[in-house]
Structure 1
Amino acid sequence: MTNVDAGAGDRLALAVLVQYRMATTEQMHLVIAPEVRIEQTRRRLAKLRGEGLVERITLPQAGRLRVWFPTDYGVQVAGEWPELRGRRPPRKVADATAVRLRVGHGLTVTETALAFLQDARWRGDVCQALDWIPEVHHPVSGGEAVIPDAVLYYRRGPSGGEGNEGALLRAFVEVDRATMGPERLAAKLGAYARLHAYVPQLAGRRSGFLQERQEAWRRSYPLFPRLLFVLDGTGPAGIATRISALHAAAGELSVAAFLREVPALAAPLVDLLRDGPSAPVWRPLRNPAQRVGWMYSVHP
């Protein structure tokens, strides 16, 4: 391996940790370099740790599992790179105690990202490590904000189906580990409906200039991203309860209008890991009796 190759690998590893917040050694290996031996990833992470760019904690209750995260210095260095420039600074996780307290949700989000990355590689689609962007801030009126666990960017390749080759898909991903009640989870649908409809008031303009106003999300996305709920932390009965709550919320008047335009789906994480996200493991919230792939198109 040349020094140039090594430098590019180090850069990607740091960028991924800054963007994803945290990952195990195995997760990092599968995200950044699955084609090489895992020992190379271990050496790379140890090198970045020696340079003060990343740190780790060890979870003794999980077979001494190592969890890696960026230091403040690592966040500062990577934040100046073009591939990360302009993104909202990540919530700091450079304190080992903070990482330990967030590790359950953080590693589940990373595991979800890995499911999409590996599925894209298998299908010949395009979804790179940095196409998974956690915690993107989307303001709504009254000081409210919608912050999905991740925004996914995904481009279909030759296997995308007739007429679909090269189609760019985007998704808001919510990873739920059953740490909140089903009603609170379902309330997120209303927040996304409000984001979909939110038109900010233009400063210094009279209310008559309505033709100049548009929904805030259009500044970032040509189409509103589809909404994916990934469910974990409970058995089949708990999954069914949460999907029922989401289905009930989908029938509310304001949410129903939103879902006629935007696909919203839910799936157990265990199914994604077993069959891949492109498999028909998703339940459309308007009709959870169906089973579809996540690239499903909504129909009125």
Structure 2
Amino acid sequence: MTDVDTASRDRLTVAVLAQYRMATTEQMHLILSPDVRIEQTRRRLVKLRGEGLINRVTLPQAGRTRVWYTTRYGAQVASEWPELRGRRPPRGAHDRTAVRLGVGHGLTVTETALAFLQDARRHGDLCQPLDWIPEVHHPLGGGEAVIPDALLYYRSHDTGTGEADSSGDGAGGSMLRAFVEVDRATMGPERLAAKLGAYARLHQYIPAPPPGTRRTLTVPEESWRRRYPLFPRLLFVLDGTGPAGIHTRLTALQAAARQPAHTALLHDIPILAAPMTDLLRHGPAAPIWHPIGGPDQRVGWMHTRHTLPGPTTGAEPRAAAPTTAGHRPDWSQLRT
């Protein structure tokens, strides 16, 4: 049984790296085995590297932090597993130089995933490591597509959670889905706000039938309905800038939300934005999120579109205790 457990944990380790693209040793430890000593995680990573399934780069500017990723062989092996079938890694996912140059954004996305995983554990909700799926491709036609930084699946034990984008799963909870965009202030506020337009198009996009297709009486439907029973909510995580920069980016998002083309999207789902610093300090469930297109309040990410709470007071949200004391990495120096 011990051998079976070891193989299962090895498999999950490779699967997480194949899906997340990259993670540090500490991130892998907290994602997979926070209840054991980190030395066990290190030994597992070293063993899998020796088997040619994963590799690492070392970042001297970050205290010689080791960043792990799958090799081409490891990704090929993982792609045959049912939980990862059909997911193609982006170009450069197995190249040492590409990984090194992409750590600023890649590790921040992984850190965002970790925040949701830890929050689920604290609250007794269900969110497994593979429920965070980066870069899911959503075609818009004409060669264009919406590719969020991640798609999140999350089941809350609270039956009153969610509305516009949640569905009961028959197990005494609500299933939530979210598109997550991690913004590190590497693009201007206008380009960030333009992402609202892309999601509004996806919300209404109906693919044209292939040439020569016979006309039927079937009512055409939006392409996203083939994947999701309800359109996922949209979360913006803002990083890489101070309070003034956060305010500027929130203002740009609020201005974009007033465009008539975005009305249907804003009516159907919550669109929220929060600073990364608040996410790490208080946890995603805390009232740290600013509703885009809504009143000037702060809410939790699972709030419903139509039941906003009253105005927030000046009190700070209660901080969530980190799984590992002092785990507050700063990737701001790794911008590449």
Unaligned 5+ segments in structure 1 are: none
Q: How far is the alpha carbon of 1:158 from its aligned partner?
A: 5.0
Give CA-to-partner distance per residue, 1:107-153, whole Å, 9 cap, x none.
Answer: 00000000000000000000000000000000002221000000000
CA RMSD of the aligned region, Å? 1.8
Task: Work out the CA distance in 1 between the residues paired with 2:159 and 2:197.
Answer: 34
Q: Quote the Cα distance in structure 2 between the aligned partners of 1:156 and 1:81.
A: 27
Counterparts of 1:186-201 in structure 2, within 5 Å, are 186-201=193-208
Q: CA deviation at 1:210?
A: 6.3
Q: Which residue of 1 aligns with 2:317?
A: none
| Residue pair 1:18, 1:90 contacting (<8 A) in 2 also | no
The one of the two structures with greater contact order (alpha-carbon pairs below 8 A, sep at least 6) is 2
Q: Which has the higher helix share?
A: 1
| Separation of aligned partners in 2, 1:234 and 1:70 | 31
**Deviation of 1:258 (Å):** 1.4
* SS, match of residue 211 in structure 1: coil
Secondary structure in 2 matching 1:299: coil
The alpha-carbon distance between structure 1 residues 197 and 13, as it changes in their structure 2 partners (threshold 3 A), is: same
Residue in 1 aligned with 2:328? Answer: none
Aligned-pair CA distance for 1:94: 1.2
Q: Counterpart in 2 of 1:81?
A: 81
How far did 1:196 drift? 0.4
Give 2:39's aligned residue. Answer: 39
Is structure 2 residue 299 aligned with structure 1 residue 292? yes
Q: Residue 262 of structure 1: CA displacement?
A: 1.4
C-alpha separation in 2, matches of 1:282 and 1:71: 37
Residues of 2 paired with 1:51 and 1:175: CA distance?
33
Match of 1:253 among 257, 260, 263: 260
2:247 to 235, 240, 243: 240
Local SS of the residue matching 1:194:
helix
Identify the residue that residue 96 of structure 2 maps to in structure 1. 96
Separation of aligned partners in 1, 2:156 and 2:88: 27
Shift of 1:222: 0.3
Q: Which moved more, 1:152-161 or 1:238-247?
A: 152-161
SS in structure 1 at match of 2:180:
strand
Partner of residue 286, structure 2: 279
- Aligned: 1:205 with 2:213: yes
**What is the aligned residue count?**
299
TM-score after normalising by structure 1: 0.95
Q: TM-score, normalized by length of structure 2?
A: 0.85
Alignment CA distance shift 1:162-1:100 (3 Å): closer
8 A Cα contact 1:124 1:158, kept in partner: no
Give identity over the alignment, percent: 71
SS in 2 for 1:212: coil
In structure 2, what is the Cα distance between the partners aligned to 1:140 and 1:113?
26
Q: Which moved more, 1:290-299 or 1:125-134?
A: 290-299
1:194 counterpart letter in structure 2 = R
2:272 — aligned with what? 265
Unaligned runs of 5+ in 2: 308-336
Q: Residues 245 and 107 (structure 1 numbering): CA distance in 2 closer, same or farther, change over 3 Å?
A: same
User: What is the one-letter code of the residue matched to 1:249?
Assistant: A
Q: Contact 1:119/1:276 (CA < 8 Å) preserved in 2?
A: yes
CA spacing shift, 1:68–1:288, aligned 2, 3 Å: farther
1:264 offset after TM fit, Å?
Answer: 0.5
8 Å CA contact 2:182, 2:236 repeated in 1:
yes
